[in-house]
Structure 1
């Protein structure tokens, strides 16, 4: 029989799904619910046979099952670093005979058993195991291991709970969407059909900025029925992600209970594991100080791969991306575990919780439409003393970003908004930035990406025009950028079978090594293009389209990163010369006018991020 029997956990919203005084930190599932992720991301049989279901695992005789998996691990290191929680309890209901153990790892991945229990002949008996959270500062996690002898063991309703430090705060989910109605409705259904999450969230704000609206979908009625008056559906003109998320933040903070709210921002094009909401919320309710808590980005097309574990911005290089030194980006979570605790400078808004204190301290986001809005806001919060935590095991699946090509209309916002972010966070030095952008601009010309070069020029010009360029929230610049780029043939993706280039004129040619003296080679390639010397053509695979390779040819048929078609790049000496002169002129302006432009953005930041400005953009005043 079992020992130390406790009451079976109940789903009480006031304690976030546990007994009074306890906080539900996360649930252990043994299989995916709706998204076709590998069940081994939840639990895996390491010996013998087992049958895994969403909330139950049946372990056959002489078998072993572990939850040392992406979703199965309890991120003890993050709980020790950011909370005063001293221990956690694992609660479960068991039937049969076998052994249950909580195993811990350290920052090197070495395992140790910290609690265990042997059960014999149990009949749906509740059990509890307690594990200390005391040796995890640099890394490590906890998980459940199950082992059977000669009999079967069923384990179900597994919950990890901690002592509740305070009353859980109301949480509002905010989803911004634009013409991704099918994605958005799937996320809403995933949330609404989980009774624990549905009971716990206070409100679900959906800001719909598109023409293909979410409320046009048949399942929207199901979502409305399940969520009731918790669903707050608002339509507004397209103000980008910045405007859509800010609308949800505004509605939450200006509504009842907004002064204590947790605001969980989520993209419209994610696939949701609903327990991610509970995990992020639980940590946010337990931190010693208010903190920004974010989820990780898994790849939708390759569900076992982690794309972002923790982001670190590099503003002088206009890179918002991943800290590659310790990152497990592009690694399969079936083969790797996140043992070391890592820091982040910000968290992207595919899944990110903001306490109300952050908004009160730093204001609303900048009205920069999209790209860098989340980075800038995260850096602003960090500058005001708020930690950012990207929590392992709190993952959502997002469209694979490395399948998106660099050369698209969004590059305008990358450059313009990256410059604005650098300016506001005192990392834009005009001379150094102009030199950095000159190199990227010359590489773009050498790559025969003339539309991208024109996009860069427009972005830098608009940055130099100053804060007034943000007065419309970015609504008007999108069509103008699309029209600008449409003038350049290589910006268009065409079917591979209809590229207009004969196969014998464009054989597949692999890229060589990166030059050891890249600046010298770049100048030489540009000179050769100016003298009209490159000849011949090549078909170039995605990933091989580096400037030093493409610039060898007169015509390059380059596979787009999306793998949906190709782009045909052709040398145009006249256009290269024209754009080159324009680019040099605007970069000279950046050197000369950059310091004054930075000052103007600093001066206007309080107005741009203020409630009154956003009310004007929403049309609320």
Structure 2
């Protein structure tokens, strides 16, 4: 690479913050390229006293690396005879993504060290095969550079480097991956956080941002769209954060319009204030702040406007990557993994990047979750804002809409947040079932390439049956409402955006399965031996027996009346992990805990509700089958209008304000 070419930083090498010890495996890895991984020592795991406590890792030579040797966010010390690898999630360079989506042909690795040792550069291919590329001995204060081609990375692969100290210690002062500077100025970003009564999370992220001014250099505005009653601006500590961020921080208070309403407001404001990008960020996350700079730099270098998002790690198990990329299964219209060899919830503390071949294949996606997603305002101006669906499927639908307009989405490794994972939620049950059911069908109506939406109608009805035999009548009421509203056509979407949640929640008092109690002792104690199967677990029926099982189970629940005592006391308690339809179907009365373990509700079998709701579900799905083409045409034609700036402007209450 010619020295005359002006270079810019593409990705800085970073180290974990003092309060993020459990994420160390994502930043630095002990041992050589064959992948001996970092491990917490047992004593520390049992008794983590403070950030000053030593954290030990096994290295290739049997020596120990201490967390206290991490000197700053960019610097770490290696004691004599030790080795560290930066072939990790946050510090390896995702070469195949830069090769695929940008014009960049070469990168330069610049490593600044003090002391004695070696720097060795490695690469991988799409199969996860590891190869040594180059190396150099270093002594004293040294700046070592490597010119590296992106040509071999058509289907996958990463670059990274290892450090090894010799007889004396070696310090990494800093390192970075550089590329040819693009023409023009860096893009301007509006960073928008949508929040609803999670002010502590929201304020914490604002505080993290205030502590990392280097990543905010090109952030024009940090916008918090506060849709709750517990206001962020009223929280202790807000004034301190505000004093640091100054005019860069702005809060908009608006009615609760859900995620789609909050994020649309951020997208709208980004267009209005002249930003080049809207960066959408969930409120209940912890962000790796360096992700902001990485998303912006990558987006600026993309050959054409591209939606660029980050990955999601588990907030409560921080070395666990929840998913590496998502697509929509076009026949079933459910989120799916792009490749069969991918695994959900990969734990980097168990198997590092170098030990995991599937992580080296580039993953091309249909959409990126809006927990961390950067959207060029050029795309927003062309295809509009979010579908007005409150929550669920808004991010997936937007990715599909962008793709139809010729704009790709990239989930970029090395940019991420920590977020509550789906295993700690059950959003298919309760009030969210309305939005899941309706919005999946709307998205299918608009985009499905298959006649009658493939398997979606059948699976929707099957879901109704499962909820009904599980005694989840409140959930089923919400799903039936969703189907009814679907037939109202696209005009209802903006109309009920601010009111539907209240309507759904008003029904909770009519359904015992919707009434949550924090203490299970508030329920009557179950009678001994009243459960349907004693201590024997109830398993999933064989696939070939499902139809027969379903008919038999529904018939039994319709004909056989619940025992009288089941209305007075439950037959048992079920932990959330055992809350499966094929188990619940055998009970007449059972107390079930919720996903996060904070409360429980009492499910009671009601043959009359089952009969009426099952009949209604069958009728509505039959109508959906008959009217599919007509509804599909309605929603497709209305999409440009209902997602337009003008339509959302009215919903935001801005249509009559001066200056808009």
Q: With structure 2 as the length reference, what TM-score do the two structures score?
A: 0.86
Structure 2: how far apart are the matches of 1:129 and 1:373? Answer: 43
Secondary structure (helix, strand or coil) at the match of 2:120 reads: strand
> Does the 8 A contact of 1:59 with 1:65 survive in 2?
yes
Counterpart residue number, 2:658: none
> Does the 8 A contact of 1:91 with 1:129 survive in 2?
yes
Q: Please, which moves more after superposition, 136-145 or 498-507?
A: 498-507
- After TM superposition, the structure 1 = structure 2 runs for residues 30-429 of structure 1, keeping only pairs within 5 Å, are 30-32=15-17, 34-35=19-20, 37-46=22-31, 47=59, 48-50=63-65, 51-53=69-71, 54-120=73-139, 122-123=140-141, 125-167=142-184, 168-255=186-273, 257-258=274-275, 261-314=276-329, 316-323=331-338, 325-334=340-349, 335-337=351-353, 338-405=359-426, 406-427=428-449, 429=451
Secondary structure (helix, strand or coil) at the match of 2:168 reads: coil
Counterpart residue number, 1:22: 7
Report how far residue 455 of structure 1 moved. 1.1
Report how far residue 307 of structure 1 moved. 0.9
- After TM superposition, the structure 1 = structure 2 runs for residues 538-549 of structure 1, keeping only pairs within 5 Å, are 538-549=572-583
Q: Please, which moves more after superposition, 296-305 or 201-210?
A: 201-210
Structure 2: how far apart are the matches of 1:185 and 1:35? Answer: 18
Secondary structure (helix, strand or coil) at the match of 2:264 reads: helix
Secondary structure (helix, strand or coil) at the match of 2:327 reads: coil
Structure 2: how far apart are the matches of 1:429 and 1:501? Answer: 51
Deviations 1:347-373 (A, max 9, x none): 111001111221122112121111111
Counterpart residue number, 1:434: 457
> Does the 8 A contact of 1:95 with 1:154 survive in 2?
yes
Structure 2: how far apart are the matches of 1:503 and 1:563? Answer: 23
Structure 2: how far apart are the matches of 1:20 and 1:197? Answer: 24
Report how far residue 21 of structure 1 moved. 2.8
> Does the 8 A contact of 2:25 with 2:352 survive in 1?
no
Q: Quickly say closer, same or farther: Cα 1:159–1:33, change in 2 above 3 A.
A: farther
Q: Please, which moves more after superposition, 511-520 or 279-288?
A: 511-520
Q: Quickly say closer, same or farther: Cα 1:240–1:487, change in 2 above 3 A.
A: same
Report how far residue 509 of structure 1 moved. 4.8
Structure 1: how far apart are the matches of 2:441 and 2:450? Answer: 7
- Counterpart of 2:553 (choices 498, 507, 525) is 525
Are 2:628 and 1:594 equivalent residues in the alignment?
A: yes
Counterpart residue number, 1:14: none
Deviations 1:68-123 (A, max 9, x none): 22212111111111112122222233111111122111122221122322112x13
Report how far residue 386 of structure 1 moved. 1.0
Counterpart residue number, 2:491: 468
Structure 1: how far apart are the matches of 2:547 and 2:352? Answer: 38
Structure 1: how far apart are the matches of 2:217 and 2:18? Answer: 18
Q: Quickly say closer, same or farther: Cα 1:322–1:497, change in 2 above 3 A.
A: farther
> Does the 8 A contact of 1:173 with 1:263 survive in 2?
yes
Deviations 1:130-165 (A, max 9, x none): 322221222111112010111100102222221122
Deviations 1:522-576 (A, max 9, x none): 1111111112177793443333333222212222333322222333322211121
Runs (5+) with no aligned partner, structure 1: 7-18
Are 2:638 and 1:610 equivalent residues in the alignment?
A: no
Structure 2: how far apart are the matches of 1:438 and 1:269? Answer: 33
Are 2:523 and 1:499 equivalent residues in the alignment?
A: yes
Secondary structure (helix, strand or coil) at the match of 2:506 reads: helix
Structure 2: how far apart are the matches of 1:221 and 1:322? Answer: 43
Counterpart residue number, 2:55: none
Q: Quickly say closer, same or farther: Cα 1:32–1:425, change in 2 above 3 A.
A: same
Q: CA RMSD in A?
A: 2.3
Structure 1: how far apart are the matches of 2:138 and 2:496? Answer: 62
Structure 1: how far apart are the matches of 2:111 and 2:227? Answer: 44
Counterpart residue number, 1:490: 513
Are 2:560 and 1:560 equivalent residues in the alignment?
A: no
Structure 2: how far apart are the matches of 1:36 and 1:485? Answer: 42
Secondary structure (helix, strand or coil) at the match of 1:471 reads: helix
Deviations 1:184-223 (A, max 9, x none): 1111111221121122322212211111111112332233
Q: Please, which moves more after superposition, 287-296 or 83-92?
A: 83-92
Counterpart residue number, 1:510: 537
Q: How many residues align?
A: 600
Are 2:483 and 1:453 equivalent residues in the alignment?
A: no
> Does the 8 A contact of 1:184 with 1:268 survive in 2?
yes
Q: Quickly say closer, same or farther: Cα 1:598–1:485, change in 2 above 3 A.
A: farther
Counterpart residue number, 1:13: none
Report how far residue 294 of structure 1 moved. 0.7
Q: Quickly say closer, same or farther: Cα 1:226–1:115, change in 2 above 3 A.
A: farther
Q: With structure 1 as the length reference, what TM-score do the two structures score?
A: 0.91
> Does the 8 A contact of 2:333 with 2:456 survive in 1?
no
> Does the 8 A contact of 2:187 with 2:218 survive in 1?
no
Deviations 1:422-461 (A, max 9, x none): 1121457548543322211112111111111111100110
